[in-house]
Structure 1
Amino acid sequence: MYTFLVTVLLMGIVKKNSLREYWSTDPMFATPFFATLFSQDRFLVLLRCQHFVNNATAILSDPLYKIRNVLISLTSAFGRVFVPYKDLCIDESLMLWKGRLAFRQYIPSKRHRFGVKFFVMCDVKTGFVQDIIVYTGSTTDIKHYEGLGVSGSVVMTMLAPHLGKGHTLYVDNWYRSPTLFQHLLSNSTGACCTVRSNRKRMAAFGCTKMQRGEVEFQENGQQLAVKWHDKRDVHVLSTVHTATMSATGKVDHLMGERKIKPDCVLDYNLKMGAVDKADMINSFVECTRETTKWYKNIFFHLIDTAVLNGSIVHRQLTGKVITYQKYRENLMRELLDEHHNPRRPSTGGRPAVDNPLRLTARHFPCKVPQTASQAPKMSSSSYDIGK
């Protein structure tokens, strides 16, 4: 099975249009290394027979029962092997899936648009994926908190192991809520997010029409609300920033002046993209392929995430900076060295399955050695024939 996983990971680097092309003997497209790992038929059998649960004992009411064991094992391992730094972010990720599925989502702002939605929490400094929750509608595996809604409950469920430790959370405007931020603040956790102007319990700003670069701050001693006009109005809510502006290091080419932005906007832009960055890194070498089974796609997506996390832990422990693709290559080589015995190439033909009695019985004609008593005698008729 380690060899099978290596083969799948290698297919993420060596891209071909179909699985059978990896065993093609056409000199233009041949990749002989795959034939040393598996025969084509053996690999396809293993791929077809992938299954992660005993259907006889599975909880069929759980929409994720097909993949639940793998999901729990990996997400719990993510939390054990890495302790996050101060800043965390939570965002949505979408895995492409266009087949029929009860909890398939349509998100037009994402690259794939159709697929399975994940709530992902990442460490901002390293990009380590700390936790994953698969969205399945009303049965999503979250603990519901009164007054916080679904978005707030997602945040509290994912942050539960990290509350009271002084972390700062960055989220987008779907998770925004002054009530949620106040609840996090009471658990020694800061937060920062963009927010819509019509959000309930948001501060009211006096200026209705602002010029580019103008800013207005409102605070109540614990939360800071910011309205800043760039190309459009931007509203930010924070419990960890002050009403200050900082230079961006860039110059406005129209005005010839240095650009300045609110500190909360600078930090949000810098620290909010960890989840999208993880998706982008995996997109170049992902091993997920088209299949008719949705849970297989999720499995391969989780494998890609686990390998990405492994590369981050490797960098943190060794201090060596190598590319993600190079790390995957080294991982595959080590797994093959430890677990794989090279496959013998086929000699052709069909091997004999039995030894018939007619090929081994003692009834073949054989030469009997001549003796003196058995010397041949010539008959008189033979001479008559000769005459």
Structure 2
Amino acid sequence: MNPGTPDLKQREYEDSDEPCSSSWKGQVSPKDIPSEIEDADDCFDDSGDDSTDSTDSEIIRPVRKRKVAVLSSDSDTDKATDNCWSEIDTPPRLQMFEGHAGVTTFPSQCDSVPSVTNLFFGDELFEMLCKELSNYHHQTAMKCKTPSRTLKWSPVTQKDIKKFLGLIILMGQTRKDSWKDYWSTDPLICNPIFPQTMSLHRFEQIWTFWHFNDNAKMDSRSERLFKSQPVLDYFLHKFRTIYKPKQQLSLDEGMIPWRGRFKFRTYNPAKITKYSLLVRMVCESDTGYICNMEIYTAEGRKLQETVLSVLGPYLGIWHHIYQDNYYNATSTAELLLQNKTRVCGTIRESRGLPPNLKMKTSRMKKGDIIFSRKGDILLLAWKDKRVVRMISTIHDTSVSTTGKKNRKMGENIVKPTCIKEYNAHVKGIDPLYFTFNSE
């Protein structure tokens, strides 16, 4: 399962048309951090009944506000004029997908779990971990005048690393007050598997010198993920090469719970997991397979740069990207079209909607559809319990049934096709979450 769920994602509050109820703490730039408030107008999967919808903004507790400088974004400066937009719907001519989806590297035994695991956890990974661990031990030993107990060293092998990682996983299954309790001889709390696998002293050595990159190469120009970048790059390379995704992808965030000291740690008081690392992920819509990911490091990049960066390996072959209103803008859709990539998703009113379309939404009744088109870019508003604004370079204004019926009237529920397909394909980041919440 992917780290975190979309329920834990945050939205960029300086873009919001509504007052912000969340505060960001620490040295984190809000420029490309999402805030949840703007997602209140999203409509994922409506069963058609008249039950009251709940939004995240309703459960946010009052917090002490502080002044935050509003930072400009490329997406916020989109200007739209009625002269560029038409109310004539011309369906886009979709190009054939130029990619080749499927597994590119097969395991030696497809029905063997170790063989499949070895595709991602190869010998080169464990060799790198052994090298960096030994290197860090050597650097530490050179600084110490009197060798400590942990410096009585024997070379670490790949087998040692595998045992160490296995014990770390087991620790998550059997919780204890102290990690040393796993080697306790007390019959009431002992776990024989731990001392049988590795001695406490050896585990402590590896834990002390656990390292992923050479500190000697670090300088003031190094990125904030320098110490973990080699491992991250290794897995991203595996994700991209072992399997090629289908045409439909989804771009969204995941949250990794974290309460440690990081300059780019994010804080959202409205969520269960308040302190976390923000991860942007591109996943295959059908399976949730992670194709690419980037950890937010508060380096002040603009939103379009972030979108192009995380989608970079999959541009140019006519992928269809489904993403929510934080990432979407008319200028972004145009830029992705130039890179042979199409998008679909919700959009904020301030992200390039023409003035004429904005005025008409205030007079809409339930079931009404209004739209504007500029070339392949379709902007559509549909009124259900609230107005849902969509942008798509994939669809036209056609409607289709959802396969569900209104509980009171017994009629088939009909939605615009772009909304129906957005609901189906945006689930890629966490399919289990969306399945549970759409029941």
**TM-score of the two chains, using structure 2 as the length reference:** 0.57
Residues 43 and 67 of structure 1: CA distance in aligned 2, closer, same or farther (over 3 Å)? same
Residues 278 and 118 of structure 1: CA distance in aligned 2, closer, same or farther (over 3 Å)? farther
Structure 2, unaligned runs of 5 or more: 1-160, 435-439
Q: How many residues align?
A: 272
CA displacement at 1:241 relative to structure 2: 0.9
For 1:259 and 1:27, how far apart are their aligned partners in 2?
Answer: 62
Q: Is the 8 A contact 2:288 2:430 kept in 1?
A: no
- What SS class does the counterpart of residue 168 from structure 2 fall into? helix
Q: Is the 8 A contact 1:59 1:65 kept in 2?
A: no
Match of 2:374? 220
Opposite residue 186 of structure 1, the aligned amino acid is Q
Structure 1, unaligned runs of 5 or more: 141-149, 281-387
Residues 203 and 128 of structure 1: CA distance in aligned 2, closer, same or farther (over 3 Å)? farther
For 2:283 and 2:205, how far apart are their aligned partners in 1?
Answer: 36
Opposite residue 226 of structure 1, the aligned amino acid is L
For 1:121 and 1:278, how far apart are their aligned partners in 2?
Answer: 17
Q: Is the 8 A contact 2:342 2:394 kept in 1?
A: yes
Match of 1:229? 383
Match of 2:299? 138
CA displacement at 1:175 relative to structure 2: 0.8
Opposite residue 256 of structure 1, the aligned amino acid is G
* Deviation sequence 1:214-260 (CA, Å, 0-9, x none): 32232223111111122211111000011111111111112221111
Alignment pair present for 1:239 and 2:399: no
Match of 2:263? 102
Alignment pair present for 1:77 and 2:238: yes
Specify which of 217, 221, 224 is matched with residue 63 of structure 1. Answer: 224
Query: Bigger shift: 6-15 or 218-227?
Result: 6-15
For 1:162 and 1:83, how far apart are their aligned partners in 2?
Answer: 10
For 1:190 and 1:109, how far apart are their aligned partners in 2?
Answer: 33
Larger RCO of the pair (alpha carbons < 8 Å, separation 6+): 2
Q: Is the 8 A contact 1:88 1:122 kept in 2?
A: yes
* Deviation sequence 1:177-196 (CA, Å, 0-9, x none): 11111111122211011111
Match of 1:34? 194
Query: Bigger shift: 267-276 or 202-211?
Result: 202-211
Match of 2:315? 163
For 1:17 and 1:169, how far apart are their aligned partners in 2?
Answer: 45
CA displacement at 1:169 relative to structure 2: 0.6
For 2:394 and 2:247, how far apart are their aligned partners in 1?
Answer: 12
Between Structure 1 and Structure 2, whose CA radius of gyration is higher?
1
For 2:422 and 2:188, how far apart are their aligned partners in 1?
Answer: 49
CA displacement at 1:34 relative to structure 2: 2.2
* Deviation sequence 1:146-166 (CA, Å, 0-9, x none): xxxx22211211222222212
Alignment pair present for 1:20 and 2:180: yes
Opposite residue 83 of structure 1, the aligned amino acid is K
Q: What is the correspondence of 1:278-317 to structure 2 with a 5 Å cutoff?
A: none
Specify which of 349, 359, 366 is matched with residue 197 of structure 1. Answer: 349
Residues 214 and 156 of structure 1: CA distance in aligned 2, closer, same or farther (over 3 Å)? same
Q: Is the 8 A contact 2:212 2:231 kept in 1?
A: yes
Query: Bigger shift: 93-102 or 16-25?
Result: 16-25
Match of 1:254? 408
Specify which of 276, 279, 302 is matched with residue 430 of structure 2. Answer: 276
Residues 247 and 15 of structure 1: CA distance in aligned 2, closer, same or farther (over 3 Å)? farther
- What SS class does the counterpart of residue 272 from structure 1 fall into? helix
Opposite residue 427 of structure 2, the aligned amino acid is G
Opposite residue 35 of structure 1, the aligned amino acid is P
Residues 139 and 47 of structure 1: CA distance in aligned 2, closer, same or farther (over 3 Å)? farther
CA displacement at 1:26 relative to structure 2: 4.6
* Deviation sequence 1:114-164 (CA, Å, 0-9, x none): 122111111112211111212111266xxxxxxxxx222112112222222
